[in-house]
């Protein structure tokens, strides 16, 4: 190898000269500046000295005046004001310290403090009864946790989470828990455990089933607002409900909606726990859950809110799939088939790899929500459309939803006090229409190899074939 | 708000515990310290974060305020609190794992109780038969339900550790190296978990955090603000002073316990060992089961003497 060629950037003689010149100039400038500064300093000092002399003179005269004045009146002399305040003066007012009003702990009371009135319902996760507290006569709802004798994991974690979450929640749209009481057999591990909840007369599902006319749109708005502010509270406190549906929403005789049944709920904090996709009753389950995602967030609850909104308007559950595969095809029928544009990255979800989707123009396979709800205003339709976005990131958060145009438009949300009342069903025998239950742990269903390419067959023909088509926009 | 505060022991609870101790005070303290240490060791082996293990320590202290430590085997209570906390948190552990860890810790192989010589790894020492496991699991799950009932199912524990870091940030780490001063603060907080004074059930996290920072600053010679800076963190001088002394005294306490009860540090503390100690002292106090009966006899005697 020959000697290294000289770099283009290496300094040459000219460079050195140039640098030296620059340095010199700089020094010159600095010297001038320093000189100027010095002069100014001198001037200032002189002025200050003059001022001081003058001040002392006036001070002296002032002093004399003060002394004269002090003798005639009780005015304190000015000089006293100049001395610093004594340091112990500042600490004398006691600082007001923040004190939390917290309780203590004591053993749970016995269920004998309550008298059962009648059963309300027997659900997947427990049994609920109406009862009165003997001491006060208050009516409450008692919910018994379902315990399995000999469960190798002890008390069910879902039940413990429900207790933990309800204990921490205080919001007018979330059902309140008063205490936890236990059966009398305290030595046994499978001693029964009851949650004492506030009693609310109705659940939204049975009202919807029995009402002759659907809710007015002002009523729908009020119900949705209450639901959303409850959900916003939960999400703000890092709680995912994971089983929002009309049968878990309670409505009091005063039109107050309360979110209930936290058997599926959990805290999602830091570190982010591993979440199961086996949550949310099938009809209200978000597409990302159906496609088997393991990292979902508050948007799954917002999908359920969208389903509930549709149900409040039509009185019918929006998407009644008979199983996971049927459910997702119903979702795609309503909301359109996902594409890489409408839902970036959905192909990477576990159950999406084997999906065969119809290859159609996005126009023909878009959302038909607008057409399904012809009576909804444009704002209402845009809200429902955004809640039922396939892409979870496109759904609004509960907080954003509260600000939506839809709630500000006429008709305005009806005040709760003006809500119609309904005959209370709690306690009466009533027929229940079939509805799938909340999922049970450990029965995950892989969608497998499913062919959805047929679900839109004929749809494109409808739109293009006839001379005209009635479109409700 | 509730995320920052803890339920605290009431004065009557503390009084009742102090007045109806089933054990002499020093033994009671020794049992508490040994069990809290055991929980810490098990938490490490179960690879739980300190945030979970510390919660288990606090739950155990709360539980023992309502029930005598002699009512159940200490290690079972420790296991049950740890299992319960892990189950409710983001990192659940199976009963099998918990069982294995406690079997190991109680074996002769246990690294928790150094005998001076290097333990030879002998899996037979901590092998659990199916029957052993079943019995352990039954005891642990029974205690889980019992602990929950005693605490009225309130498992909420907020720890001072994150608060302490936030406070340090506010104080600009007292112009010390961030890691040094943070580490020392956290060390004080973790040591306080073991304190027989049960600091975590009598003081709020903000007070614990402030006292730990004060101690760390003193240790490192850091300059603290000249005013009553603890009032910014809602702690008054009295409380701070008490906690500062209490936190500093844990080390001496541990040393004293080690000297007083040399046998307690050699293997896992069992109820039988405590009973032996009682016999040696010529005291006979029954275990927690007949403690209520004793209480009743006491009342009867008082009535008679009137």
Q: How does pLDDT run across A339-386, given as a tens digit for each residue?
A: 888 898 888 888 888 777 776 655 556 778 888 898 889 999 999 999
Per-domain residue ranges of chain B? 11-151, 160-260
What's the full length of chain A, in residues? 473
Q: What string of DSSP letters covers B138-199?
A: HHHHHHHHHHHHHTTT------SHHHHHHHHHHTGGGGS-HHHHHHHHHHHHHHHHT-TT-H
Q: A191: buried, middle or exposed (CB in 10 Å: 19+, 13-18, 0-12)?
A: middle
Sign of CA dihedral A243, A246, A252, A256: positive
Mean pLDDT of B82-109: 90
* B299 in reach of chain A (CB within 8 A): no
Q: Which two tokens stand for residue A415?
A: 């005040």
Residue of A64, A185, A243, A391 with catalytic role: A243
pLDDT, tens digit, for every residue of A326-335?
A: 999 999 989 9
pLDDT (0 to 100) of residue A12 = 62
Q: Are residues A316 and A257 in the same domain?
A: yes
- Shared fold status for B11-151 and B160-260: yes
Smallest CA–CA distance, residue B289 to chain A, in Å, is 12
In a domain, A16, yes or no: no
* A110 in reach of chain B (CB within 8 A): no
Q: Are residues A177 and A231 in the same domain?
A: no
Least trusted range by pLDDT, from A133-137, B19-23, B97-101, B259-263? B19-23
Q: Are residues A264 and A151 in the same domain?
A: no
* A184 in reach of chain B (CB within 8 A): no
CA–CA gap between residue B115 and residue B265 (Å, rounded): 9
Instruction: For chain A, 473 residues long, give each residue's pLDDT as a single digit of tens.
Output: 444 455 555 556 666 677 777 777 778 777 777 777 777 776 666 666 555 555 544 444 444 444 444 344 444 444 444 444 444 544 455 668 888 777 788 888 989 999 988 888 765 556 889 999 999 999 999 998 888 777 888 888 889 999 999 998 999 999 999 999 998 876 666 678 999 999 998 889 989 988 888 899 999 999 999 999 999 999 999 999 999 999 999 999 889 999 999 989 988 876 677 788 788 889 999 999 999 888 888 999 999 999 999 999 999 999 999 999 999 999 998 998 888 888 988 888 888 887 777 766 555 567 788 888 988 899 999 999 999 999 999 999 999 999 999 999 988 999 988 888 877 766 443 445 567 777 766 666 666 666 666 666 555 544 443 334 344 43
In a domain, A443, yes or no: yes
How far apart, in Å, are the Cα atoms of B20 and each of A411, B294, B297, B304? Answer: 67, 10, 13, 20
In a domain, A33, yes or no: no
CA–CA gap between residue B284 and residue B299 (Å, rounded): 19
pLDDT (0 to 100) of residue A455 = 62
pLDDT band at B159 (very low <50, low <70, confident <90, very high): very high
What's the total number of domains in chain A? 2
Cα separation of the two ends of chain A: 79
Q: Which two tokens stand for residue A106?
A: 């004591």
pLDDT, tens digit, for every residue of B63-76?
A: 999 888 888 999 99
- A and B: number of Cβ contacts within 8 A: 106
Question: Which DSSP letter does residue A52 get?
Answer: H
Name the domain boundary from A198, A226, A248.
A198
Q: How far is CA A217 from the centre of its chain?
A: 25
Q: Are residues A192 and A123 in the same domain?
A: yes
In a domain, A105, yes or no: no
Write b or e for each residue in A345-355: b if 16 or more Cβ atoms lie within 10 A of its Cβ, otherwise e: ebeebebbeeb
- Top pLDDT among A226 and B275 is at A226
B266 pLDDT above the threshold of 90 = no
Q: Which two tokens stand for residue A130?
A: 């109406």
pLDDT (0 to 100) of residue B298 = 60
pLDDT (0 to 100) of residue B294 = 57
**CATH number of the structural domain spanning residue A182:** 3.30.200.20
Question: Which DSSP letter does residue A258 get?
Answer: E
pLDDT, tens digit, for every residue of B190-211?
A: 999 999 999 999 999 999 999 9
Structural domain that includes position A178: 113-198
B17 pLDDT above the threshold of 60 = yes
pLDDT (0 to 100) of residue B116 = 66
pLDDT (0 to 100) of residue A223 = 95
* B145 in reach of chain A (CB within 8 A): yes
Q: Are residues A385 and A266 in the same domain?
A: yes
Q: Which of helix, strand or coil describes residue A74?
A: coil
Q: Which residues of A touch B136 (CB under 8 A)?
A: none
In a domain, A86, yes or no: no
CB B156 to CB A168 under 8 A?
yes
pLDDT (0 to 100) of residue B131 = 92
Name, in order, each residue with C-beta under 8 angstroms of B191's C-beta and a sequence gap of 6 or more. Answer: B247, B250, B251
Q: Are residues A133 and A193 in the same domain?
A: yes
pLDDT (0 to 100) of residue A353 = 80
* A73 in reach of chain B (CB within 8 A): no
Name the domain boundary from A198, A223, A243.
A198
Q: What is the CATH number of domain B11-151?
A: 1.10.472.10
Catalytic (active site) residue A243: yes
β-pairing, A109-110 vs A177-182, is parallel
Residue A339 · residue A393 · CB < 8 Å: no
Q: What is the CATH number of domain B160-260?
A: 1.10.472
A103, A269, A273 ranked by CB distance to B7: nearest: A103
**CATH number of the structural domain spanning residue A216:** 1.10.510.10
Q: Does A283 sit behind a cis peptide bond, omega within 30 degrees of 0 on the bond before it?
A: no
Smallest CA–CA distance, residue B7 to chain A, in Å, is 5
CB B90 to CB A154 under 8 A?
no
Strand partners, B51: none
Q: Which residues of A touch B150 (CB under 8 A)?
A: 105, 107-108
Mean of the per-residue pLDDT values of chain B: 87
CB B8 to CB A189 under 8 A?
no
In a domain, A37, yes or no: no
Q: Are residues A381 and A238 in the same domain?
A: yes
Residue B80 · residue B102 · CB < 8 Å: no
In a domain, A30, yes or no: no
Name the domain boundary from A198, A217, A247.
A198
């Amino acid at each position: 190898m020959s000697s290294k060629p000289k770099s283009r950037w290496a300094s040459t003689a000219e460079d050195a000269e140039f640098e030296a010149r620059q340095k010199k100039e700089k020094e010159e400038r600095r010297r001038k500046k320093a000189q100027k500064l010095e002069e100014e300093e001198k001037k200032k000092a002189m002025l200050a000295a003059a001022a001081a002399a003058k001040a002392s003179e006036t001070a002296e005269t002032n002093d004399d005046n003060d002394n004269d004045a002090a003798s005639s009146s009780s005015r304190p002399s000015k000089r006293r004001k100049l001395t610093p305040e004594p340091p112990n003066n500042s600490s004398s007012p006691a600082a007001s310290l923040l004190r939390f009003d917290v309780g203590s702990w004591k053993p749970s009371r016995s269920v004998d403090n309550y008298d059962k009135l009648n059963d309300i319902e027997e659900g997947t996760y427990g049994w609920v009864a109406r009862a009165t507290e003997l001491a006060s006569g208050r009516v409450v709802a008692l919910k018994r946790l379902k315990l399995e004798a000999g469960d190798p994991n002890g008390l069910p974690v879902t039940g413990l989470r429900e207790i933990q979450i309800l204990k921490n929640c205080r919001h007018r749209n979330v059902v309140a828990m008063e205490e936890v009481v236990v059966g009398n057999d305290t030595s046994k591990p499978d001693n029964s455990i009851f949650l004492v909840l506030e009693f609310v007369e109705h659940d939204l599902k049975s009202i919807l089933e029995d009402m002759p006319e659907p809710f007015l749109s002002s009523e729908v708005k009020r119900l949705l607002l209450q639901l959303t502010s409850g959900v916003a509270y939960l999400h703000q406190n890092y709680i995912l409900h994971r089983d929002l549906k009309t049968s878990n929403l309670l409505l009091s005789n005063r039109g107050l909606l309360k979110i209930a049944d936290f058997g599926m709920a959990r805290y999602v904090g830091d570190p982010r726990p591993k979440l199961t996709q086996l949550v949310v009753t099938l009809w209200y389950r978000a597409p990302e859950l159906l496609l088997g995602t393991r990292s979902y967030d508050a948007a799954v609850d917002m999908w359920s809110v969208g389903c509930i909104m549709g149900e409040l308007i039509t009185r019918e559950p929006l998407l009644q799939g008979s199983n996971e595969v049927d459910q997702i095809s119903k979702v795609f029928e309503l909301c359109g088939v996902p594409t890489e544009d409408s839902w970036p990255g959905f192909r990477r979800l576990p159950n999406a790899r084997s999906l065969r989707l119809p290859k159609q123009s996005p126009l023909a396979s878009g959302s038909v929500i607008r057409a399904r709800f012809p009576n909804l205003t444009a704002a209402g339709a845009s809200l429902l459309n955004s809640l039922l976005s396939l892409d979870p990131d496109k759904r609004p958060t509960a907080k954003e939803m509260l600000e939506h145009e839809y709630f500000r438009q006429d008709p305005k949300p009806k005040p709760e006090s003006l809500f119609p009342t309904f005959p209370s069903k709690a306690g009466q025998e009533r027929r229940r229409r079939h509805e799938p239950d909340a999922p049970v742990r450990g029965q995950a269903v892989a969608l497998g190899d499913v062919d959805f390419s047929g679900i839109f067959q004929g749809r494109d023909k409808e739109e293009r074939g006839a001379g005209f088509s009635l479109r409700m926009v | 708000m509730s995320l920052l505060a803890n339920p605290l022991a009431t004065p009557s609870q503390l009084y009742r515990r102090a007045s109806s101790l089933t054990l002499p005070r020093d033994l009671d303290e020794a049992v508490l310290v040994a069990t809290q240490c055991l929980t810490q060791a098990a938490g490490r082996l179960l690879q739980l974060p300190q945030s979970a293990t510390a919660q288990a320590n606090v739950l155990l202290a709360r539980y023992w305020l309502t029930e005598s430590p002699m009512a159940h085997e200490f290690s079972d209570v420790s296991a049950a609190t740890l299992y319960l906390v892990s189950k409710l948190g983001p990192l659940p552990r199976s009963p099998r794992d918990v069982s294995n860890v406690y079997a190991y810790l109680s074996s002769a192989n246990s690294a928790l109780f150094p005998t001076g010589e290097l333990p030879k790894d002998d899996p037979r020492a901590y092998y659990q038969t199916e029957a052993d496991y079943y019995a352990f699991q039954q005891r642990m799950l029974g205690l889980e339900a019992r602990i929950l009932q005693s605490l009225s199912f309130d498992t909420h524990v907020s720890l001072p550790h994150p608060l302490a870091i936030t406070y340090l940030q506010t104080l600009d780490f007292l112009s010390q190296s961030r890691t040094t001063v943070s580490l020392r603060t956290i060390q004080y907080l973790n040591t306080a978990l073991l304190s027989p004074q049960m600091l975590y059930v009598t003081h709020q996290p903000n007070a614990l955090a402030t006292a730990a920072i004060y101690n760390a600053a003193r240790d490192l010679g850091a300059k603290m603000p000249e005013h009553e800076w603890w009032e910014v963190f809602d702690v008054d001088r009295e409380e701070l002073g008490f906690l500062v002394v209490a936190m500093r005294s844990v080390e001496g306490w541990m040393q004293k316990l080690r000297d007083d009860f040399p046998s307690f540090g050699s293997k896992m503390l069992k109820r039988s060992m405590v009973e032996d100690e009682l016999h040696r002292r010529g005291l006979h106090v029954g275990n927690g089961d007949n403690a209520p009966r004793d209480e009743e006899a006491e009342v009867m005697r008082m009535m008679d003497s009137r």
